Structure 1
């Protein structure tokens, strides 16, 4: 498909081969809520070419929508309305620039997939501990732009906590060269942390210095049945007390989630079928601590305290992978069932049992529905999803969908929680942010946006409506 004359003028300002026609793969998003648009795709090969693209768009007042692997769930990488933007893809910037195992630092370009970054760390005898279900497709720039979380946040923190420095192109086309490898740098405003989590609204991250970590001597993995969320939290406290700093993952799974798997993905093996609630626990163990002995001691103490009613311990890497496969297929089972309303929330840990009781009672009063709650209990992040009653369709709840979402989010905010724990704001939750965001914080965000992007060309409509 040839470029039109206006496209030719833009192409003349840029290095040869940077611009290309739009393909469908740049316009979709996983949940199908938005259909994006775009005039052209820019696929630069260097930070200097990214800067040239941004300068040309600023001069022409053309909006830029950054595009990573397209795995985001809040519409941040698609622009469905307004003049067609330029889609900026960093897929050709996918190199490792530096690896320093002695410093536990790796410098990678933003177009690398998260899995490729993990592989590069592994090749250096280290690990990059950020882990997502979409890591084979999600690109580093998008992961940092959304401040992604995942299953290991309890031990390692979100993407922000694993980034030491960034290289980025700001909205005027200037290049921020801040790929530092320092753990301490108190020299004023932290622009790295400002751009991480900004979802491409303040600039384009092109590379990052990342923290690696030593590979643990052993991993211990178990699936444990618990009476309820309160007991799960008590089990978390027990595990952290026994293995300080070694609890890598602590995932909560509801019995409804297991029912969904049995219904639509029966090939997924369930070690504890029928458990009303269960926990997937992973420990990263130091040298000298045997996985079996560690888990058996914890399980014995937890069962004596009434915190665990049954358990399955992974005796091999293959069994551990089976347990994780169950957890990772929960979103797919949800998709096949079809939710009425989905919520990515976080709460103070002590508020979680009360919230689950109160929200369940509230939704029961609104009609017959099923709730599949699962997620990263260790860091307070739950995926609280509402589904039709058995035998009914999601369309039967169209008249209640907005009320359900509003009621759940209000209960979360009332308990000092967040309606967007790890997926970001994107375009999906701009109204929620405007409604429930702190006014002073929102005013500061708008002032920062106006100062850095006065033309409003960087991912317009995302985060701040």
Structure 2
């Protein structure tokens, strides 16, 4: 793909500020950075990878002087056009070189660069027996702390501690003027007056470029029980999930339907994967006899847990010692008694042993293209939404079949009160530069390749829009808003004016990631 030429004075200024190796204006790397999991946007005129805050500040000032839009990018595991600008012509800021980790055990705080992946942070903290409350999404091998805070996300630790934003103490942000803003105090107290930190969580980079994030520390609880339950209806499953969420006994729970269990998830269940899981379970089990018993149960279960019910709900319950974890597990069983049936715990044992799996699932189990979308629902809207969703799918089934489109659903707790309902769409279509670069030639050798299918892609885009509208009809909120979900129109007039005033104050020329959040 041909690149536009960067304006020469700006290009020269960026090279002077950052060094030639940190400025890309053409080639495969630029094509990769212009794409996300879902689609390819317009090409940046340049991509930069600053290695220090002063260098980034200088680059931002040069872009601002030239009137060129700036779009920050984290690990790239996004699918809502968060760093995709359809018209191109921007400078993309790759924050991956901000990868420092400063652990302050005395004050129970860790300061991390925005480009640190959750997997690397977990490794660094685990060596000292520490963790953060929320400790990453399933895509944590690639997803960065800065990207997750900008987009808001959930997964590991969300049941007990909420979403990513709820674990942030303060942020350092480079504004559109090049000024460095710190939202915190010397005492690392977030709520010292109005919550300035909260302004920049979930902003999708519209208010500035994050360079450092401070998070609180907790001790790792080394003992865990994993439990799985099966349900024959969504209403049964949701009733169980709501009860469990109110109890807050587990560190994490997640659920999948039959389609994903036998598709995406079951793809992990080959013999090689099972041996890796077994080895990881034994390695991480403080009690080797108990670990061996767990491996034996998994072997006897085979793939049956993948077909145990229409919905499967999985828990990871942690404790200070085996008795603590076992006590919580027993109570959770009592809470769910009479709603579903307990099944072999193969899936949560896998997630416990390998929380950040390789990003193979950015394609479907047969090599199909994939895009998820989600809504965070109030509990009283979960069943009505599910009914409406299934009615919409029934109405579109003939078109789905004609285009080879299929779907599945996943579910998670969103903080302590929200219920995240995620829909994954799959369709036959050609890959883009993001898939090829992320997965690599060796992996893709064994994956089916599809020709470009614009008709299927256009249908998926229309169906995606209908599903977003359906979420809105049921009052859903969203993470990873980017350019994919409505935001401003959901705000009251006074709130919309306040948001606009904040954007104008921090970015008067509208150069920071224009278009996200509808700004």
Residue 257 of structure 2 is aligned to residue 254 of structure 1: yes
Checking the alignment, whether the CA contact within 8 Å between 2:159 and 2:248 is kept in structure 1 is no
User: What does 1:232-311 align with in structure 2 at a 5 Å threshold?
Assistant: 232-239=237-244, 244-261=247-264, 267=270, 270-274=303-307, 275-287=309-321, 289=323, 291-292=325-326, 294-295=328-329, 298-299=332-333, 302-303=336-337, 305=338, 307-311=339-343
Question: Residue 156 of structure 1 aligns with which residue?
Answer: 161
Distance apart, 1:108 and its partner CA: 1.2
Question: Residue 445 of structure 1 aligns with which residue?
Answer: 499
Distance apart, 1:455 and its partner CA: 1.4
Residue 79 of structure 2 is aligned to residue 20 of structure 1: no
Residue 219 of structure 2 is aligned to residue 214 of structure 1: yes
Question: Residue 321 of structure 1 aligns with which residue?
Answer: 353
RMSD: 3.6
Q: CA deviation digits over 1:101-135, x for unaligned, max 9?
A: 23321011112222112222212320123221221
Question: Residue 382 of structure 1 aligns with which residue?
Answer: 421
SS of 2:424's equivalent?
A: strand
Checking the alignment, whether the CA contact within 8 Å between 1:251 and 1:376 is kept in structure 2 is yes
Give the 3 Å change call, closer, same or farther, for CA 101–257 of structure 1 in structure 2.
Answer: same
Distance apart, 1:314 and its partner CA: 6.0
Checking the alignment, whether the CA contact within 8 Å between 1:18 and 1:44 is kept in structure 2 is no
Q: CA deviation digits over 1:126-171, x for unaligned, max 9?
A: 0123221221122222122112223432222222111111111111
Answer with 40-49 or 370-379: which moved more: 370-379
Answer with 132-141 or 440-449: which moved more: 440-449
* Count of equivalent residues: 449
Answer with 151-160 or 47-56: which moved more: 151-160
Question: Residue 346 of structure 1 aligns with which residue?
Answer: 376
Answer with 103-112 or 230-239: which moved more: 230-239
CA distance in 2, matches of 1:12, 1:239: 54
Question: Residue 174 of structure 1 aligns with which residue?
Answer: 179
SS of 2:17's equivalent?
A: coil
More helix by share: 2
TM-score by length of 1: 0.83
Question: Residue 467 of structure 2 aligns with which residue?
Answer: 408
Q: CA deviation digits over 1:9-61, x for unaligned, max 9?
A: 41476254574223533524332412342223332222222211111211221
SS of 1:273's equivalent?
A: helix
Give the counterpart of 2:344 among 290, 302, 312.
312
Question: Residue 360 of structure 1 aligns with which residue?
Answer: 390
User: What does 1:451-462 align with in structure 2 at a 5 Å threshold?
Assistant: 451-462=505-516
- Return 5+ residue gaps in structure 2 as ranges: 274-301, 401-405, 429-450
Question: Residue 81 of structure 2 aligns with which residue?
Answer: 75
SS of 1:219's equivalent?
A: strand
Distance apart, 1:382 and its partner CA: 1.6
CA distance in 1, matches of 2:352, 2:509: 51
CA distance in 1, matches of 2:20, 2:171: 26
Checking the alignment, whether the CA contact within 8 Å between 2:153 and 2:163 is kept in structure 1 is yes
Checking the alignment, whether the CA contact within 8 Å between 2:222 and 2:320 is kept in structure 1 is yes
CA distance in 2, matches of 1:112, 1:234: 37
SS of 1:359's equivalent?
A: helix
SS of 1:361's equivalent?
A: helix
- Return 5+ residue gaps in structure 1 as ranges: none
Answer with 211-220 or 284-293: which moved more: 284-293
Residue 54 of structure 2 is aligned to residue 48 of structure 1: yes
SS of 2:476's equivalent?
A: coil
CA distance in 2, matches of 1:338, 1:214: 40
Distance apart, 1:245 and its partner CA: 3.9
Give the 3 Å change call, closer, same or farther, for CA 25–380 of structure 1 in structure 2.
Answer: farther
Distance apart, 1:209 and its partner CA: 1.0
TM-score by length of 2: 0.75
